[in-house]
Structure 1
Amino acid sequence: MWDPLAIREFSALLRDPVFRGRGVPPGDGRPVLLVPGFLAGDWTMRVLDGWLRRIGYRSHLSGIFLNIHHSERMLSGLRRKVVEVEKETRARLTLIGHSHTHHAVGMVRTANELAYGRRLNAEGRFTYDLKLTPIVPTTSIYTRADDVVNFRSCLRPDIPAMQVWGSHNGLVVNPEVYRIVGRLLARPPRPA
């Protein structure tokens, strides 16, 4: 999964003050669940996991070894993990996912279901879900240089989108992304 551009981004992250928590507000201890993209696993999120813990969040990996399952099958395990983390922490959690549009839609749907205690849509209706306005705060971080996903698929009029320089695989180790994530997480959480 690592490409030369991602290695360059990782190298830049290691040298950047943001990696040591400088220039981002300290975390408030809220739980954050990290979800890897298609054909990836939790191992791709470990650097972000460590960083979030260092700046003051309770970061959790998804339990996904390799995301190759049908989306609904994977989402059922993700739903269980969300419930487990929320039960353990007794707090609303924030989801951060990498790549795979269907995956992101399912995460938003899962967050919507948990926020309102009901299923919003029948299983497998991803196209319909893509048209729904999220009822939880959602932000898209994308790169026009993405060689895996067309960046236009990350753009919607109802969801804030933030462009960074980088590669598809490198977004999980990109210093600019870390700065954005740090600022986004510093916003006050919505009341339960």
Structure 2
Amino acid sequence: MAFEAQTLRPPSKLLLMLEGRALHELGAFYATQPLLSMTAKGDGHPVLVLPGLVTSDVSTRPLRSFLDKHGYAVSGWGLGRNFGLREGIQEGMVDLVRQITDTHGRKLSIVGWSLGGLYARQLAKMMPDHVRAVITLGSPFAAHPKATNAWRVYEFVSGERADDAAVETKFGGPLSETPPVPTTAIFSRSDGVCAWQGCVEKAGSFAENIEVYGSHCGLGHHPAVVYAVADRLAQPEGTWQPFDRSGWRSLVFPDPNR
């Protein structure tokens, strides 16, 4: 799937208004716990979960709690609210990755929501020997920074111009470049914050896209997303295979290439 990153427009005002669905998706997450508990269990490897713009570890608590109960050594980023690459943030994440891998003696997987997913990709490019896999949730790595409805918020809280693409220029190189580790991009065509086309990875031997029906603000706890994240993380290291959407999964996960 190829799109002109410079010509993408932010989602419509209608889709932005529909982001209130995130609350219902959180309720659905708790309602489907009995079913989600049947997903593949983890092997104990460390998983780092990075929050989106202006959010903190509080926003990723449902996902982290689920993964913790599923057998992973889960960590939040512990750097407060995500206000962009302010002073010390990049260094703090790099140090955290090293600390986690040194503590567990194993590579970690990184799950990043929105802006957190951009960080996840860049960390994997900078530290491929420390990172086992990357999963992004609605992260606009393949679009111009202004192809989102959050670019003004980003400029206000970060002190950076969105056109300057601070994450790219200061941290790991081109955002659209696929990390050198197994990479999964989860996205929704009804995302009200980021243009969905900018959240799509170039499919490759170790890169894939998984589409879900849902909001942007609910991606971190949407039941289908949680299922997909658990499925991807459960793969033994070195045996990565693309997501299987056959059978009943085709009803929940539409064909991302349609």
1:1-192 alignment, distance < 5 Å:
4-17=20-33, 21-22=37-38, 24-70=39-85, 73-100=88-115, 103-116=116-129, 124=169, 128-158=173-203, 159-190=207-238
- Give the whole-Å Cα distance in 2 for the aligned partners of 1:19 and 1:65: 32
* CA-to-aligned-CA distance 1:122-148 (integer Å, 9 cap, x gap): x72569522423201111101111111
- Which sits farther off after the overlay, 37-46 or 12-21? 12-21
State the TM-score, normalizing by the size of structure 1: 0.85
After TM superposition, where is structure 1 displaced by more than 4 Å over at least 4 residues in a row? 125-128
- Give the whole-Å Cα distance in 2 for the aligned partners of 1:83 and 1:133: 21
1:71 Cα deviation after fit? 6.2
Identical amino acids, percent of aligned pairs: 29
Alpha carbons 2:121, 2:175 under 8 Å: kept:
no
- Give the whole-Å Cα distance in 1 for the aligned partners of 2:215 and 2:112: 16
Alpha carbons 2:49, 2:74 under 8 Å: kept:
yes
Structure 2, unaligned stretches of length 5 or more?
1-18, 131-167, 240-258
Q: Which has the larger radius of gyration?
A: 2
- Give the whole-Å Cα distance in 1 for the aligned partners of 2:46 and 2:128: 15
* CA-to-aligned-CA distance 1:55-85 (integer Å, 9 cap, x gap): 1111001112100132674222111111111
- Which sits farther off after the overlay, 63-72 or 38-47? 63-72
- Give the whole-Å Cα distance in 1 for the aligned partners of 2:27 and 2:119: 32
Alpha carbons 1:5, 1:167 under 8 Å: kept:
yes
- State the SS of the aligned residue for 2:80: coil
What's the Cα RMSD here? Answer: 2.4
- Give the whole-Å Cα distance in 1 for the aligned partners of 2:172 and 2:105: 32
- Give the whole-Å Cα distance in 1 for the aligned partners of 2:117 and 2:236: 22
Change (3 A) 1:13 1:105: closer
1:19 Cα deviation after fit? 6.4
Q: How many residues align?
A: 182
1:20 Cα deviation after fit? 5.2
- State the SS of the aligned residue for 1:139: strand
Structure 1, unaligned stretches of length 5 or more?
118-122
1:18 Cα deviation after fit? 5.5
Structure with bigger helix share is: 1
Q: Which residue of 2 aligns with 1:120?
A: none
Alpha carbons 2:44, 2:73 under 8 Å: kept:
yes
State the TM-score, normalizing by the size of structure 2: 0.64
Alpha carbons 1:35, 1:97 under 8 Å: kept:
yes
* CA-to-aligned-CA distance 1:142-181 (integer Å, 9 cap, x gap): 1111111111111132331111011111011100001101
- Give the whole-Å Cα distance in 2 for the aligned partners of 1:68 and 1:178: 25
